[in-house]
Amino acid sequence: MTTIFARASLVVALISLIALPAFPVGYEKGVSLSGKHAGTSNAATSAVEGAEGLFFNPAGLGRMSGDNDFSVNLSGISLSAESPLVGEQRSSNEFATPFAIWYAQKMDDTITWGAGVSVQGGLKADIGEIQLNPALTAFSPKFATSLAVFEVTLGGSYNITDEFSVGIGYRISYATAEYSYGAAFASAGPSLTQVAIDLKSLTGLDFAGARLGAQYRTDDWGMGLLIRTPVKFTLEGEAEGKAENTLAPGSGTTVPLTKEDDLKVKSSLPTLISLGFNYDGVQDNRFHLQLDWYNYSVNEELEIEGTMTFGGSNVLSNITQKSKDSTAVRVGYEYLGFSMPIRAGFVYATQVSNKGYATPVSEPPGDGMGFSLGSSYELSESHMLHFGADYAQNNAKVEASDVPADSSTATGDYDGTSYSVHVGYQTSF
């Protein structure tokens, strides 16, 4: 049974950790957090000004009209996904509301500081209870995951010249998560066995994150560089489970598994390098181009430390991911000749999830793309309302030739779409 459990622990429904229902940019939402910059698909590394620089580029903190800048942003994201499981296409529909609150203050003409709190990532998917085999009737394992990543940021910028500035942001990240999944497999003789496992109350802190940025701006053009350092999470919690064996005494009944009270799950939100450009040389028009690189290949596997035994075997083991690095291209446009500017954007990102180890509750293993629109409305002097909307999709087909011998990934279509609205309030004084 040891060999069978080693294979079963890689069953298609096992879950990737730092995974945002993120269509299209890998494990992170392609367009997020900012009502203003959502309209240009977050192409903001070179052009961000004020408090929102804590997220997009801390070098932009000091480029604001007043001595103080305050920004509150809320997004509403409707997510739907469809993927194969137990011979059928299964769907999940969820709604998420990430938020951000940022503040920046000029100390003098060269130094600006800022602080904020935001939801930087997350995952929410619930496929429901699935009967894995008609012969197994005691229970139907639930397949669901919930993850939220919160961040507190303290940053500062320094204007070396009127055109050139640098900045840094220190990040404290907190993650909380829960996962439910199951597996069914053949054991000794004609017997069938299934297990259902719940990873519960997982929480973790990281104090080593940072954002480093630089901007060069003239009246006609600008460029920006952002480097986000990785966040390595160790989430601690507990694991509970149950099992059924068709040949065991009292077949069709539930047997509780050994509880693990000292569970540890490890993974990373990886390095991001972003290089952006904007051109303002045509009156009332601004053009944006941005290239982002995400180092997701560091996530070779999801590390799980803990023991939950059944039949002499540990059903908790590392989960192979073999994620891929992703490159995202963002193109944005703004027309500033109206009292309410017009913004539009497009983003295309290469796949992160590996087709050979795809799961129904993480990012579909394909390239993604998204479109966005946005504008702003002046409520009164120094008070602005920004808003935007975006649509994103990620679709992939997994063939039998994509799945290696050590994986139980199901073949078929993996599809994801999201519809989002973003609203932000900004005041400078």
* 41 CA to centre of own chain: 16
Distance CA(429)–CA(427), nearest Å, equals 7
Distance CA(175)–CA(146), nearest Å, equals 11
Residue pLDDT, tens place only, 354-407: 999 987 767 889 999 999 999 999 999 899 999 999 999 999 999 999 999 988
Quote the pLDDT of residue 226: 98
- Cα–Cα–Cα angle for 363, 373, 270, rounded to 5 degrees: 35
Return the structure tokens found at 229: 């350092």
Quote the pLDDT of residue 27: 55
Return the structure tokens found at 309: 């035994």
Return the structure tokens found at 43: 């192409």
Looking at the structure of the chain, the number of domains it has is 1
The three-state secondary structure class of 227 is strand
CA nearest neighbour of 35 among 292, 376, 329: 376
Quote the pLDDT of residue 408: 82
Question: What is the model's pTM?
Answer: 0.90
Residue pLDDT, tens place only, 104-156: 999 999 999 999 999 876 667 788 888 888 888 889 999 888 888 899 999 99
Distance CA(243)–CA(224), nearest Å, equals 54
Distance CA(192)–CA(195), nearest Å, equals 11
> How many CB atoms lie under 10 A from the CB of residue 111?
14
Query: Could you tell me if 266 and 234 are in contact, meaning their C-beta atoms sit under 8 angstroms apart?
Result: yes
CA nearest neighbour of 215 among 160, 170, 260: 160
Quote the pLDDT of residue 154: 98
Distance CA(332)–CA(149), nearest Å, equals 27
Return the structure tokens found at 5: 């459990």
* Structural domain boundaries, residue 360: 2-428
The three-state secondary structure class of 2 is helix
Query: Could you tell me if 263 and 306 are in contact, meaning their C-beta atoms sit under 8 angstroms apart?
Result: yes
> What CATH number does the domain containing 283 carry?
2.40.160.60
Distance CA(58)–CA(102), nearest Å, equals 12
Which residues of the chain have a pLDDT value below 50? 1-24, 26
CA nearest neighbour of 208 among 226, 225, 233, 175: 233
Return the structure tokens found at 143: 């397949």
Distance CA(415)–CA(81), nearest Å, equals 6
The three-state secondary structure class of 115 is strand
Sign of CA dihedral 47, 51, 56, 57: positive
The three-state secondary structure class of 54 is helix
Distance CA(223)–CA(335), nearest Å, equals 19
Let me know if 429 is exposed, middle or buried by CB neighbors in 10 A (0-12, 13-18, 19+): exposed
Rounded to a whole number, what is the largest CA-CA distance in the chain?
A: 81
Quote the pLDDT of residue 127: 83
Quote the pLDDT of residue 29: 72
3-state helix, strand, coil in the chain (%, to 5): 5, 60, 35
